[in-house]
Chain A
Amino acid sequence: MAENVTPRVRVPSSATAGEEITIKTLISHVMESGQRKDSDGNVIPRSIINRFVVDFNGENVIDVALAPAISTNPFFEFRATVPESGTFNFTWYDDDGSVYEDAKEVTVA
């Protein structure tokens, strides 16, 4: 249903053990609130991403519930400590049941 949904993620490719790294994510999405009407007066049905989850090597890092007031193309920036080499898995859940995924590897020297 939602069109042109593209996840984008930026994670440093390497880090030192225990270092706090900054992770940025952006997903293009209309985030239709369900409050608006089209030119004929009909309500445009709600279509948003309602949950965003990041795991590192199977361990949960953040788990965010998104609400209709969040703007189009939601952007998240957060920090995480990386104890070891591994993979960050990013998952976005759409109202329509679609799931968008991305993954980035971090090497700890």
Chain B
Amino acid sequence: MKTYALAALIGAVSVTSALADEDADLVVNGDLEIAVRAPAPDHVNLPEVLSGWLFRSDETQALQTDDFDNPGMIFVDDARETWASVEGAAGESCQSCHNDPESMAGVRPVYPKWNEEAGEVRTLAMQVNDCRETRMQAEPWGYTSGKMANMEALLASVSRGLPVNVAIDGPVADTWAMGEEIYYTRYGQLELSCANCHEDNYGNNIRADHLSQGQTNGFPTYRLKNAKLNTVQDRFKGCVRDTRAETFSPGSAEFVALELYVASRGNGLGVEGPSVRN
């Protein structure tokens, strides 16, 4: 009886690869090629690193190949307006210091990274809020708020196609090791670690969902299920919750470490944000 059930399970798993076109290449607007496959970095226990885009249905993949069809681009436009608008007591906007958003090309691929002055690992969201508080003297945004997600999408969009390249050694080594520890720790009543799904079982189905490698090169991500941009730490929270655990908070030291570690697993993949997922 047990053998029979196991055979049925294996049968169910093997048909799932028909769900998505895993051989497709991602070209946006007909000319911007984005690497959705890359050789695995030395520290990653995978044969090859693959973008989550490869694991989505043909229709969802297509939405990302044209900026007019990509619903995430609305939020990028929204952030462009925010970029140029003055806020806070210092009378500054993002533009006052950084000029056009395009000047930020190359920033998204290297975050999270070490900030020497502050002596800490900073995510893009932390850096944006530091700018708002210190330079603009404005209210910080919520870590996973709509405004923050939109700004992250703008910063990602001007770096699209550039390879993710976060540093894992030097001053960030301790944080990175903490992230790795969290990645391989089983959490919750279901006793699942990140690796159980995203390293051991990517390509298989978890109920109706096609498991990806859990790469973060596409964040922030427009999800068809909630029709808005979702930040990477929101997604972490959702994943940990699904293991039926008490989650860490977005912005916590644990999630910052995890964001760094997971980003480093995708070193070499092209930045896609805002990507489209289900």
Measuring CB to CB, which residues of chain A are less than 8 angstroms from any residue of chain B?
A: 4, 6, 8, 10, 24, 26, 28, 71-73, 75
Q: CB-CB < 8 A to B179: which residues of A? A: none
Q: CB-CB < 8 A to A26: which residues of B? A: 68, 74
Interface pair B77/A73, CB less than 8 Å apart:
no
Interface pair A75/B77, CB less than 8 Å apart:
no
Interface pair B68/A24, CB less than 8 Å apart:
yes
Task: Beyond A28-B78, A75-B71, list 9 extra A-B contacts (CB 8 Å).
Answer: A4-B78, A6-B77, A10-B68, A24-B68, A24-B69, A28-B74, A28-B77, A72-B227, A73-B71
A8-B68 contact in complex given A26-B74, A28-B74, A73-B74, C-beta closer than 8 Å: yes
Q: CB-CB < 8 A to B227: which residues of A? A: 71-73
Q: CB-CB < 8 A to A10: which residues of B? A: 68
Can you show 19 pairs from A to B with CB atoms below 8 A apart?
A: A4-B78, A6-B74, A6-B77, A8-B68, A10-B68, A24-B68, A24-B69, A26-B68, A26-B74, A28-B74, A28-B77, A28-B78, A71-B227, A72-B227, A73-B71, A73-B74, A73-B227, A75-B69, A75-B71
Q: CB-CB < 8 A to B78: which residues of A? A: 4, 28
* Contact indicator per residue, chain B 127-159, by CB within 8 Å of chain A (1) or not (0): 000000000000000000000000000000000
Please name the residue on chain B nearest to A6 by beta carbon.
Answer: B77
Please name the residue on chain A nearest to B81 by beta carbon.
Answer: A4
Q: CB-CB < 8 A to A73: which residues of B? A: 71, 74, 227
Please name the residue on chain B nearest to A72 by beta carbon.
Answer: B227
Please name the residue on chain B nearest to A24 by beta carbon.
Answer: B68
Nearest first, the 6 A-B pairs at minimum CB distance are: A28-B74, A10-B68, A72-B227, A24-B68, A73-B74, A71-B227
Distance in angstroms from A42 CB to nearest chain B CB is 21
A62 to B227 CA separation, bound complex (whole angstroms): 26
A46 to B77 CA separation, bound complex (whole angstroms): 25
Please name the residue on chain A nearest to B228 by beta carbon.
Answer: A72
Q: CB-CB < 8 A to B68: which residues of A? A: 8, 10, 24, 26
Please name the residue on chain A nearest to B77 by beta carbon.
Answer: A6
Q: CB-CB < 8 A to A4: which residues of B? A: 78
Chain B residues 68 to 121 lying within 8 A of chain A, measured CB to CB, are 68-69, 71, 74, 77-78
Distance in angstroms from B73 CB to nearest chain A CB is 9
Q: CB-CB < 8 A to A75: which residues of B? A: 69, 71
User: Which of B71, B74, B78, B227 has the largest number of chain A CB atoms within 10 A?
Assistant: B74
A18 to B74 CA separation, bound complex (whole angstroms): 33
A68 to B69 CA separation, bound complex (whole angstroms): 22
Distance in angstroms from A41 CB to nearest chain B CB is 22
Q: CB-CB < 8 A to B74: which residues of A? A: 6, 26, 28, 73
A16 to B87 CA separation, bound complex (whole angstroms): 49
Distance in angstroms from B104 CB to nearest chain A CB is 23
A6 to B76 CA separation, bound complex (whole angstroms): 13
Distance in angstroms from B76 CB to nearest chain A CB is 11
* Contact indicator per residue, chain B 223-239, by CB within 8 Å of chain A (1) or not (0): 00001000000000000
